Chain A
Amino acid sequence: ELHLVESGGGLVQPGGSLRLSCAASGFSISDYHMDWVRQAPGKGLEWVGRTEKKGLIANTRYAAFVKGRFTISRDDAQSSLFLQMNSLTIEDTAVYYCVRGYNGLDPWGQGTLVSVSS
């Protein structure tokens, strides 16, 4: 069975940093693009970014709101995905989901909550 498990969420002050992790099981992330999607409380889904699987050109692309503050990375050997978030604002408060970028976006992790507050 395919599983994605996020960790690393929590409470952080505005301007702070947080690093989220995502552990995959049941498949090797080296064969897939991997995405982060977030959802603010009571709001809709928002795509954060994608790291493409290794190939001739393996891009990492972000939504406009990231503005250079977030970095997505991957460790294929450990089948792990990361999201480094810096300069956090209260607007970044959300549940962050790790998702495999295959057949649409599937499967999804259970999400980890990031709360930005003073």
Chain B
Amino acid sequence: DIQMTQSPSSLSASVGDRVTLTCRASQGIRNSLAWFQQKPGKAPKCLIYDSVSLQLGVPSRFSGSGSGTDFTLTISSLQPEDFATYYCLHYNGYPFSFGQGTKVEIK
């Protein structure tokens, strides 16, 4: 089974900062990767799918990149509403699996 590892597990940043989150797969998954944002007490929301495609309605400050085993989610200018936990998911064959999450906190 494919394991997904996210780094860092948490980070502190300020409004306006550029933030990069990383997700690594234990074996190649082509571009079958999605990123999710989850706020406390809420259901997750898909931001990016197929590694680079922005979900409809998601602000353009979010972008994804990568293929194979290494992927990144970048927030170009962190906004107050972006403080949340972010998860990656691979869907390149069963079973799918999530990373353990990266919590983005206010500095």
- A interface vs B, CB < 8 Å? 35, 37, 44-47, 50, 61-64, 97, 101, 103-111
- Nearest CB to that of B100 among chain A residues? A44
B87 pairs with A108, CB closer than 8 A: no
B98 pairs with A47, CB closer than 8 A: yes
B53-107 residues at the A interface, CB under 8 angstroms: 53, 55, 87, 89, 91, 94-101
B6 to chain A, nearest CB (A): 9
B87 pairs with A45, CB closer than 8 A: yes
The answer, among A44, A61, A103, for a CB contact under 8 Å with B46, is A103
A62 pairs with B55, CB closer than 8 A: no
B71 to chain A, nearest CB (A): 13
Inter-chain contacts of A108 with B (CB < 8 A): 43-46
- Nearest CB to that of A4 among chain B residues? B43
Q: Contacts A103-B53, A105-B46 known; A50 to B89 CB distance under 8 Å?
A: no
B26 to chain A, nearest CB (A): 15
B65 to chain A, nearest CB (A): 15
B43 pairs with A46, CB closer than 8 A: no
How many residues on the B side are at the interface (Cβ–Cβ under 8 A)? 25
The answer, among A64, A104, A105, A109, for a CB contact under 8 Å with B1, is A64
Inter-chain contacts of B95 with A (CB < 8 A): 47, 61-64
Q: Is B34 an interface residue (CB 8 A)?
A: yes
A44 pairs with B96, CB closer than 8 A: no
A104 pairs with B87, CB closer than 8 A: no
A45 pairs with B36, CB closer than 8 A: yes
Bound complex: CA A47 to CA B99 (Å): 11
Q: Contacts A44-B98, A47-B98 known; A104 to B43 CB distance under 8 Å?
A: no
B106 to chain A, nearest CB (A): 20
A50 pairs with B94, CB closer than 8 A: yes
Q: Is B23 an interface residue (CB 8 A)?
A: no
The answer, among A47, A50, A111, for a CB contact under 8 Å with B43, is A111
B24 to chain A, nearest CB (A): 16
